[in-house]
Amino acid sequence: MLISTIDYNEYVGRIGIGKIDRGSIRVNQDALLVNHHDGSKKEKVRITKLYEFDGLKKVPVQSASIGSIIALSGIDDLHIGDTVCAVDEPDPIPFQKIEEPTISMNFCVNDSPLAGQEGKYVTSRHIRDRLYRELNTDVSLRVEDTQDTDTFKVSGRGELHLSVLIETMRREGYEFAVSKAEVIYRTDERGKKLEPMEVAYVDVPDEFSGTVIQKLSLRKGELQGMGKTSDGRTRLEFAIPSRGLIGFRNDFMTDTKGTGIINTIFDGYAPYKGDLAYRQQGSLISFETGVAVAYGLFNAQDRGTLFVEPGDKVYSGMVIGQSGKSEDIELNVCKTKHLTNTRSSGADEALKLVPARKLSLEQAIEYIDTDELLEITPQSFRIRKKILDPLLRKRSQISKKDRQG
């Protein structure tokens, strides 16, 4: 039997799920566990529990035969791709190799002024235990401790892979912050820097093909082919670094007015293509802690696109919108109108606000820049600067420019 899925239970430990390819199996039977890498590791084990599936439920059984999809427990060191076979006839089943992670993010304890108000599990111990527990069922995930005890490096197969984990933890009551997704680099035998590459297939109407080619070219993409599809659309094939696709999908849907289709597939590692800017526009940043009011937002909406509405809690260093310019702009959206005894016609009319742009989890992960964090709670998403204090943030930017200069 080839182990194709791993489940986990706190009482019985790891549970292997697969289909019986040959023979039969029964409870308390001795078996041989053969490692999926090279077959060199062989361990004698005993099957303590056996289950078959009735819908979504596991039903305990005493035995099962060829063709049955079963779950078994009692084996501690069990992994996807391992083969459970007869002791006297070890014959491992070939298994497709699982690709290594290409994208990493830092998961850290939320230390913003609004921390701990919405989440149930907020400490580093809670977050660490949950991340390492995920390794029991997700074989493509990697979790590493860092020098900072409140930060953990989590690596996966892409932004979608990590966003599913983030959303699952959020729904379970966890509160934490994540950094910008970054690709995992490698070096060849000569010490040359390598980066993961993707093949992107893009289907767009003819009028948008020029815009898409321009945007992907700016992200170090190379056009490999162009043709027509059966429905009259243009199909573009690009070879592009994985980091060039980070934050691209939102722009892509905007540029193609929601009509474009993009699919990507991992295509190995290639020499580093050079630096690129993730985002062309800056952020609107609150420099005061309090509650956003309509008067302050009305004065701020001309500077860009707002992410907050009247009544939302904000704090100093929190990103409240996207700037219309390339640099960051600090604003006070908690500012109220001063009362006077003067009355004039039209002065007290209702302020008209443009509806705030509410980012989904995937959109927020793509939006944040390298100097920002995404604060995640069971109830809300907030984008913030890593350095909340405006003076310290300015000093950090100056020192960064000096190093680059």
State percent of the chain over pLDDT 70.
95
Residue 269, beta-bridge partner list: 196
Give the per-residue pLDDT at 83: 87
Q: How many of the other CB atoms lie within 10 Å of CB of 336?
A: 10
203-207, 254-258, 340-344: range with lowest mean pLDDT: 340-344
Give the per-residue pLDDT at 131: 94
Whether 385 and 329 have beta carbons less than 8 Å apart is answered as: no
Whether 156 and 78 have beta carbons less than 8 Å apart is answered as: no
Whether 185 and 100 have beta carbons less than 8 Å apart is answered as: no
List, for residues 19-76, the tens digit of each pLDDT value. Answer: 988 888 888 888 888 876 555 678 888 888 899 988 888 898 999 988 889 999 888 7
Q: State pTM to two decimals.
A: 0.79
Work out the widest C-alpha separation in the chain, in whole angstroms: 97
Give the per-residue pLDDT at 201: 93
Residue showing tokens 């705030």: 356
Whether 261 and 236 have beta carbons less than 8 Å apart is answered as: no
Average confidence (pLDDT) over 246-259: 85
251-105-184-94 Cα dihedral, nearest 10 degrees: -100
106-110, 298-302, 311-315: range with lowest mean pLDDT: 298-302
d(CA 140, CA 157): 7
State percent of the chain over pLDDT 90.
35
Residue 120 has pLDDT above 70, yes or no: yes
For 266, the enclosing helix (H) or strand (E) is: strand 261-271
Please give the mean pLDDT across all residues of the chain: 86
**Helix pair 248-255, 209-218: axis angle to 10 deg:** 160
Give the per-residue pLDDT at 251: 82
